[in-house]
Amino acid sequence: METKVLHIKENLRKPEYFVYIILAVMFTVAVIASPGYLQRAHMSGLLKTASFLGIAAIGQTFAILLGDIDLSVANTITLGNVLGAQILMGSDANLGKAFVIILLAGILIGAGNGFGIRYLKLDPFIMTLGMSSVIEGVFMIYTQGAPKGKTSPFMSSLCRSAGTGVVTGVFLIWIVLVVIAIFVMKKTTFGRNVFAVGANKTAARFSGINTTKIYFIVYIISAVLAIFAGFLLVGYTGTSYLDVGVDYNDNSIAAVIIGGTAVTGGRGGYLGTLAGVMLMVMLVDFLTIVNISEAGRQMIQGGIIIILLLLYNRDKASH
């Protein structure tokens, strides 16, 4: 019995589990401070907002597990948004065409990032930042600075309607992707290889892992999920906006780090990111409710990230 208790305590000290304690505290404070916090419409809105960030954060988690980063997420989301709206043009008949084009664009972006990092030997920070600028140029040319189009009835229903409950179609999509992501990371050879490459790239290569293949797959996953999140946002917003993805770089990275994935790679996973996503969404929502300015929200978010990083590093050093 004592051994089990010690084991539980040890697990709770791990960042990917400790963040759930913080999430529970944050949720309790929000409920107490805002009597209407648990209202159906409000909870549905929170889950919808979390779904888009959560989908994008899956790819970011993979990238950071490699010890790298993907700074093209934000503009990839915007590209998915403007492409999706302009192809759909309000008609469900265009769904298949839109989905295929979105998928191909995501694969192209991810492969481009992988090629630049592995074959051109560019730093992931520089490569993905450069790719972000290329993507921005593409959607600016495509839209001529004035995005057109609108969502279709199916997309609108998928991403907005919760019926009589709080669960929307986009939230269910996120949950399915969560299960797949955690399974891939924890139970597959590819997932184990991602951790191995993130822990020690040289050792992974000498052990026979095709590190180039791992990089290509990870960045394709990140780009496909980001552009898919942007496509889904068409259903939520009803149309497209050139700044729709602007906050997703910072927020996806923050969610992954808050969730306990080490920025140096090789440690963490999406289980922690899941809580990090909810914590980020709830924090922004709560600070908005209590009328904290945008500057104040940014300062508080940054402060929380720094504090958690200090706690995580302290715990790691103690071991």
The DSSP annotation for 127-159 comes to HHHHHHHHHHHHHHHHHTTS------HHHHHHH
Compute CA distances 129 → 121, 148, 209, 213, 246, whole Å.
Answer: 14, 26, 27, 21, 13
For the 18-28+37-159+174-314 domain, the top CATH level (class) is mainly alpha
284 Cβ contact list (under 8 Å, min separation 6): 297, 301
Could you give phi then psi for residue 242, rounded to 5 degrees? -75, -15
Distance, CA of 17 to CA of 169 (rounded, Å):
27
Residue bearing tokens 């929307």: 168
Distance, CA of 19 to CA of 17 (rounded, Å):
5
The structure tokens listed for 222 are: 């990140």
The structure tokens listed for 163 are: 């019926």
Instruction: Write down the pLDDT at residue 3.
Output: 54
b/e map 265-291, b = 16+ CB within 10 Å = bbbbbbbbbbbbbbbbbbbbbbbeeee
Instruction: Write down the pLDDT at residue 13.
Output: 56
Residue bearing tokens 């409920």: 31
Instruction: Write down the pLDDT at residue 256.
Output: 94
71-94 confidence digits (pLDDT tens): 999 999 999 999 999 999 999 999
Residue 260, classed as helix, strand or coil, is coil
- Where the chain has pLDDT below 50, the residues are 5-9, 11, 317-319
Pair 166, 43: CB distance under 8 Å: yes
Pair 217, 235: CB distance under 8 Å: no
Residue 208, classed as helix, strand or coil, is coil
| Long-range own/partner contacts, residues 192-198 (CB < 8 A, 24 or more apart) | 194/62, 194/65, 194/66, 194/218, 195/65, 195/266, 195/267, 196/266, 197/66, 197/67, 197/265, 197/266, 198/65, 198/66, 198/67, 198/264, 198/265, 198/266, 198/267
Instruction: Write down the pLDDT at residue 164.
Output: 57
> Which of 188, 195, 219, 190 has its CA nearest to residue 58?
219
Length of the chain: 319
Q: How far apart are the two ends of the chain, measured CA to CA in Å?
A: 23
Entry pTM:
0.91
